[in-house]
Amino acid sequence: MTISTVTPGRQFFDTHVETIMAGKIDEMVDRDYTEDAVLITFFNGFQTPPPLTIKGRENIKKFFHDYLKTIGYIDIKSLDFTETEGAIFFQAKFNCNLGLVTVGDAWTMRDGQIAYHYGFWV
């Protein structure tokens, strides 16, 4: 019998997504992102064309508040996930107000928080 264990990176990911889905954006950003974090994304759900570069917790909070208003919800349909000592990478398909979307994100971690967040949309 094989016993499946949840890795620290997967636990971080699960908590991150659960907090977004609960609408607790400020809590998520304060807990998960370094003070000087940088988020670079190709999210195309805003009037400003991608790529977007967002620096610092306060600006990342604003981004995620707007992001959640745009997508409405996240219903993950598939997830490919991997991690290394200093990074988390995943690809996912999920339903939201925009329909079925495919995303890929890479997080460079520092002291247990996201220092650089790269996001891709298809």
Mean pLDDT of the chain: 94
- pTM value is 0.92
Of 88, 74, 73, nearest to 119 by C-alpha is: 88
Q: Is residue 108 within 8 Å of 96, Cβ to Cβ?
A: no
Per-residue pLDDT tens for 91-115?
A: 999 999 999 999 999 999 999 999 9
**Could you tell me the residue range of the domain that residue 69 belongs to?**
8-121
Indicate the number of domains in the chain.
1
| Spatial distance between the Cα atoms of 38 and 56, rounded to a whole number of angstroms | 6
Question: What is the model's pLDDT at position 102?
Answer: 96
What CATH number does the domain containing 21 carry?
Answer: 3.10.450.50
